[in-house]
């Protein structure tokens, strides 16, 4: 899960930087432009909308392709019946392709390949399909993308609350040393994530606080609030921030976003730790999307 959290941090850092690149725009226009970039990132080849499968690997050989006889079943309309086999051998993962199956690593056709060397996944392609290895705890899985996915084709945008600058809240960052936060994902795995500190802020005269993970220059906050019951995603939302030189941080809830699990049943999202469940209705940011 740690790799997953770092991936989220890396993917989203670009949004944070670009959101403040245009200083002449009004605040509302800046949020609009930032949200457009957010939508484009979801629709991109590396976005969350094209996820089409998550297949946990068994030790030994795992056959894959479009035929039902395979251990890993790719979409039949996008795949040849039998593409080959993926072998997990004590953490080493290799792919052996059947002849003439048109599997590529970049522009190079693949016959046999180590697809998770040194923990760095290789992305393979076959027609509109893309896949690579992810690791969660001690388990390995194949994450599949379909560039013609129904979730991508059916995407029509994300409903949001009206932008209100009062939901851009200044927080005090209280640093901690050697502290961890227990983060559980939707599969039930729990990981101890290093927490650089706590964010303390006030809304309507009442004080609240949130634990962050990541680094001071790129804080990742997984939170829940009272809107999750009806209007926003049931398991909570994500927020990103940066500690300023004076030890404060902006919590811009207008940039509160749905987790990847809102867009696809094939994501493995982290859930808010219990201390990050706010007794507050945050009427800002993205509303509920989908029913995953």
pLDDT in tens, 166-223: 999 999 999 999 999 999 999 899 999 999 999 999 999 999 999 999 999 999 999 9
What's the DSSP call for residue 224? B
Assign 229 a pLDDT band (cuts: 50, 70, 90): confident
- pTM (2 decimals)? 0.87
DSSP code per residue over 116-141: SGGG-PPPEEETTEEEEEEEETTEEE
- Unique residue bearing structure tokens 């953490």: 91
Token output for 18? 């670009």
Rounded Cα–Cα distance for residues 37 and 43 (Å): 10
Give residue-wise pLDDT tens across range 80-99.
999 999 999 999 999 999 99
Using CA atoms, how far apart are residues 199 and 171, in angstroms rounded to an integer?
Answer: 6
Fold of 51-148: Tumour Suppressor Smad4 (2.60.200)
Quickly tell me which residue has 């220059």 as its tokens.
Answer: 217
253 with 231: CB under 8 angstroms?
Answer: no
Q: Which residue has 């094939």 as its token pair? A: 266
CA–CA gap between residue 170 and residue 200 (Å, rounded): 9
Q: Residues with Cβ < 8 Å from 239, sequence gap 6 or more?
A: 221, 223, 251, 252, 253, 255, 256, 257, 285
Measure the CA–CA gap between 126 and 74, rounded to whole angstroms. 11
Domain map of the chain by residue range?
2-47+157-276, 51-148
Give the Cα separation of 184 and 158 in Å (integer).
Answer: 26
Residues 7-47 have pLDDT tens digits of 565 555 554 444 444 444 699 999 999 999 999 999 999 99
Q: Which parts of the chain fold into alpha helices (H)?
A: 2-19, 27-43, 150-153
Helix, strand or coil, per DSSP, at residue 261: helix
Q: What is the pLDDT of residues 134-172, one digit of tens each?
A: 999 899 999 999 999 988 999 999 999 999 999 999 999
Element (H, E) at 211: strand 206-215
Strands (E), the chain: 51-56, 60-65, 72-73, 84-89, 92-97, 104-105, 108-109, 112-114, 124-126, 129-136, 139-146, 168-175, 180-184, 190-194, 197-203, 206-215, 218-223, 237-241, 248-252
């Amino acid at each position: 899960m740690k790799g997953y959290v770092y991936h989220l941090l890396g993917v989203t850092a670009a949004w944070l930087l670009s959101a403040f690149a245009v200083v002449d725009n009004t605040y509302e226009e800046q949020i609009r432009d930032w949200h457009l970039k957010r939508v484009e990132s979801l629709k991109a080849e590396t976005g969350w909308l094209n996820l089409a499968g998550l297949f946990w690997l068994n030790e030994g050989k795992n056959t894959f392709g479009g035929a039902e006889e395979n251990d890993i079943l790719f979409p039949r309309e996008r795949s040849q019946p039998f593409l080959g086999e993926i072998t997990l051998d004590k953490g080493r993962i290799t792919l052996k392709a059947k002849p003439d199956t048109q599997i590529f690593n970049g522009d190079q056709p693949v016959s046999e390949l180590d697809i998770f060397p040194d923990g760095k996944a290789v992305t393979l392609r076959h027609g509109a399909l893309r896949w690579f290895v992810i690791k969660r705890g001690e388990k390995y899985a194949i994450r599949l993308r379909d560039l013609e996915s129904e979730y991508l084709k059916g995407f029509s945008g994300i409903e949001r609350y009206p932008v209100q600058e009062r939901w851009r809240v200044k927080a005090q960052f209280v640093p901690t040393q050697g502290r961890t936060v227990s983060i559980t994902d939707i599969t039930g795995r729990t990981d101890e994530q290093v927490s650089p500190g706590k964010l303390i802020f006030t809304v309507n005269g009442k004080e609240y606080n949130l634990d962050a993970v990541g680094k001071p220059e790129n804080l990742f906050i997984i939170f829940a609030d009272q809107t999750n019951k009806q209007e926003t995603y049931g398991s909570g939302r994500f927020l990103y921030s940066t500690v300023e030189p004076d030890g404060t941080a902006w919590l811009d809830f207008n940039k509160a976003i749905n987790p990847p699990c809102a867009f696809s049943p094939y994501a493995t999202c982290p859930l808010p730790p219990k201390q990050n469940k706010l007794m507050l209705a945050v009427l800002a940011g993205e509303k509920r999307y989908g029913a995953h």
